[in-house]
Amino acid sequence: MRTLIAGGVVVTAADVLTADVLVDREQIAAVGLGLGASAERVIDAAGRYVIPGGVDVHTHMQLATSGTVACDDFASGTAAAAWGGTTTIVDYAGHDRGEPLLSGLARWQAKAAGAAHIDYGFHMMISQVDDRVLAEFAGLAAAGVSSVKLFMAYPGVYMIDDAAFFRALRRAGELGLLAAVHAENGGPIEVLRAEYVASGLTGPAYHARSRPALLEGEATARAIALAELAGAPVYIAHLSAAEALAAVHVARDRGRPVYAETCPHYLYLDESVLSGPEGARYVCSPPLRQAGTPDLLWQGLRRGDLDVVATDHCPFTTSQKSRGEADFTQIPNGLNGVEERLALLHEGVCRGEISLTRWVDLAATAPARLFGLYPAKGTIAAGADADLVIFDPAATRSLSAATHHGASDYSVYEGLTVHGWPELVMQRGQVLVDADGFHGRPGAGRFLARGMPPLLSAGSPVPVRRRLRRSAHRPTFWACGNGHLTPG
């Protein structure tokens, strides 16, 4: 079965050109002009963008936390993602303390298998660090889980001390796993939380006040320093604070392999909503920051200090959020976003914050590269998976819980109008969403055994493909002049 997506404006991380895209079964066969002869089906894309399917590398479907469970499971959450143009997620699997990592992974695999409408992979959240756990890191890589998550916050749950953090970073680096970090200093946060509660200051705004930006900045700088000591790269997840952005900026100018992700809610919302009547809806960690921070984060996207926009999608219902009405420490942390991400980021194009090519890079290409999914995912090129979105820049849509497809009964973007929305979403040649509605199927999504993030594979037989351009660190490389290809 050959399908021609005809006449669209094909946008990749580097080019914007009018061309046809020829799909042959599950993959892209060619990008060019006059390719129509052999196609059995033609989809008109004139006047619209053709972009790679979105890659959201930070989701928490069905996560058990704070005594409840995030309301999107792998079925509803991946359907919402597909509606919004995202065709790949990387979710965070976990393990209980004492439980082998692969056992935890198996539990997450069981949740997703048979449920996911789109392709998915997993990071592994590390709850403790000891010789046994470090020894298990090699098994993760073999199982297609090429990244781990380390926590500098949540003492008693996920937080590990600096000695353990250093050992885990170093072991990950040795194996070519990328370590993603939750960078907030959990110790002083616990002091502040306890004091606010003891003082009866228990509203949602005190969730944010107990997690000041300064402590995210400090932890980010510390993560970067310990990664340098470990000789390893590091990935700062859900960066929200100006202080943290500054730490990343300095490190990248010094040539350190430091990567960072922010989320749509940090680009659109600030702490003022926490003081409103429904403040609990907006509680997440790190929290929303002071007015002005979104502008700085958009600047960070332009400068290249931030590499990825992912969602940290972890939605709850109003009812679930209300558990913490009298005590912010009881509010489950998390927001919706997996469906809105692509359009919210495109809105930044409309507002002149970023370019079209940067949009595609942030939403698909860069996350695919960093987490070992490229070039199967993240670009439009011969041989890549035919994960494609026809995106109509002339559409307008008012974001709302009334029309979104996730399970939550509210949206933090309620009433925000975006200019541009996916018109057709295809995965591996199959249309998931079009004007007729949703054609996905639970279980159609495949587990993605991810390769090594290319930035880490200096010693491996797989050539490094590309360096993110801005950062001053040197690419690792293969020897030249020996007939092998050098890295890109």
Contacting a copy of itself within 357-416 (CB under 8 A): 357-358, 361, 365, 375, 379, 381-384, 393-396
Three-state DSSP class for 341?
Answer: helix
Please, what is the minimum distance in Å from the beta carbon of residue 82 to a copy of itself?
Answer: 23
Q: Which of 1, 33, 138, 201 binds a copy of itself (CB under 8 A)?
A: 33
Stretch that binds a copy of itself, among 19-27, 132-140, 256-264, 405-413 (CB under 8 A): 19-27
- CB of 7 or CB of 84, closer to a copy of itself: 7
Asked if 13 touches a copy of itself (CB under 8 A), the answer is: yes
- CB of 104 or CB of 348, closer to a copy of itself: 348
Asked if 50 touches a copy of itself (CB under 8 A), the answer is: no
Stretch that binds a copy of itself, among 33-41, 63-71, 113-121, 197-205 (CB under 8 A): 33-41
Asked if 221 touches a copy of itself (CB under 8 A), the answer is: yes
Asked if 191 touches a copy of itself (CB under 8 A), the answer is: yes
The single residue listed with the structure tokens 């046809």 is 20
Three-state DSSP class for 196?
Answer: helix
Site for a copy of itself in 436-465 (CB under 8 A): 464-465
Distance CA 123, CA 32 (A): 36
Applying CB under 8 A, the site for a copy of itself has a residue count of: 101
Asked if 354 touches a copy of itself (CB under 8 A), the answer is: yes
Alpha-helical segments (H) within 231-311: 242-253, 264-268, 293-303
Q: Which of 183, 226, 364, 452 binds a copy of itself (CB under 8 A)?
A: 226
Please, what is the minimum distance in Å from the beta carbon of residue 113 to a copy of itself?
Answer: 31
Q: Which of 103, 403, 460, 486 binds a copy of itself (CB under 8 A)?
A: 486
Q: Is the dihedral of CA 319, 323, 328, 330 positive or negative?
A: negative
What tokens were used for 43? 């989809």
Asked if 320 touches a copy of itself (CB under 8 A), the answer is: no
Distance CA 402, CA 4 (A): 34
- CB of 367 or CB of 445, closer to a copy of itself: 367
CB 147 within 8 A of CB 235: yes
The single residue listed with the structure tokens 């005809």 is 6
- CB of 334 or CB of 367, closer to a copy of itself: 367
Please, what is the minimum distance in Å from the beta carbon of residue 40 to a copy of itself?
Answer: 15
Task: Report CA-CA distances (Å) from 290 to 61, 266, 274.
Answer: 28, 10, 11
The single residue listed with the structure tokens 């890589």 is 141
- CB of 44 or CB of 161, closer to a copy of itself: 161
Site for a copy of itself in 274-313 (CB under 8 A): 299, 302-304
Q: What angle do CA 347, 234, 412 make, to 5 degrees?
A: 30
Please, what is the minimum distance in Å from the beta carbon of residue 168 to a copy of itself?
Answer: 11
Please, what is the minimum distance in Å from the beta carbon of residue 298 to a copy of itself?
Answer: 9
Asked if 181 touches a copy of itself (CB under 8 A), the answer is: no
Distance CA 301, CA 293 (A): 13
Distance CA 118, CA 72 (A): 14
Distance CA 118, CA 112 (A): 10
Asked if 174 touches a copy of itself (CB under 8 A), the answer is: no
Phi and psi at residue 397, in whole multiples of 5°? Answer: -150, 135
Instruction: Determine what percent of the chain falls in helix, strand and coil, rounding each to the nearest 5.
Output: 35, 25, 45
What pairing do the DSSP bridges indicate for beta strands 54-59 and 86-94?
A: parallel
The helix/strand count (H/E) of the chain reads as: 14, 19
Q: Which of 4, 5, 6, 28 binds a copy of itself (CB under 8 A)?
A: 28
Asked if 153 touches a copy of itself (CB under 8 A), the answer is: no
Q: Which of 215, 267, 331, 432 binds a copy of itself (CB under 8 A)?
A: 215
Stretch that binds a copy of itself, among 10-18, 114-122, 133-141, 325-333 (CB under 8 A): 10-18
- CB of 165 or CB of 282, closer to a copy of itself: 165
The closest of 33, 4, 8, 57 to 423, measured between CA atoms, is: 8
Listed in sequence order, the residues at least 6 apart from 263 whose beta carbon sits closer than 8 Å to its beta carbon are 58, 238, 240, 309, 310, 311, 312, 337
Amino acid at residue number 199: S
Site for a copy of itself in 231-270 (CB under 8 A): 249, 253, 255
- CB of 135 or CB of 350, closer to a copy of itself: 350
